[in-house]
Amino acid sequence: MTVTEETAPASHYERIGGASSVKAAVELFYDKVLADPELAGYFTSVDMVGQRRHLALMLTVVLGGPNEYTGRGLAEAHQPLNITVEHYAKVGVHLTTTLTELGVPADIIADVQTVLGQVQDQVVASGNRSGV
């Protein structure tokens, strides 16, 4: 049997509802992050419209949707921010909570958490990785 578009398994991106669902997740996620006093400071001088767009494009890729991301790499964008392991973990909790609240299936959330683990060293500042 050959795999066609009709028989190919749906990507996580398609399963959650595509672009509109990713956009809803990004909006709710940043509402949570910006309301968190430990994390809000990272975004005081950030263009949040652009930031939300970047995250939506990156989340789309993580979920198996179309890759239209053309921004900086994770390390280039995050290393200057001196992000700690604790703050990275809090962001992960906010993302997991967001996806859970939006009814994203557990297997998709588990895959997103796996990706978060894989990219942690690109985001957390090199001086903040001890004891991990």
Annotated binding site: 54, 78
What's the rounded Cα separation, in Å, for the pair 33 and 89? 12
Instruction: Go through 97-123 and write b for each residue having 16 or more CB atoms within 10 A of its CB, e for each that does not.
Output: ebbeeeebeeebbeebeeebeebbeeb
Q: Please enumerate, by residue number, every residue annotated as part of a binding site for heme.
A: 54, 78
Chain mean position to CA 36: 17
Q: What's the rounded Cα separation, in Å, for the pair 111 and 115?
A: 6
CA quadruple 38, 119, 129, 47: dihedral sign: negative
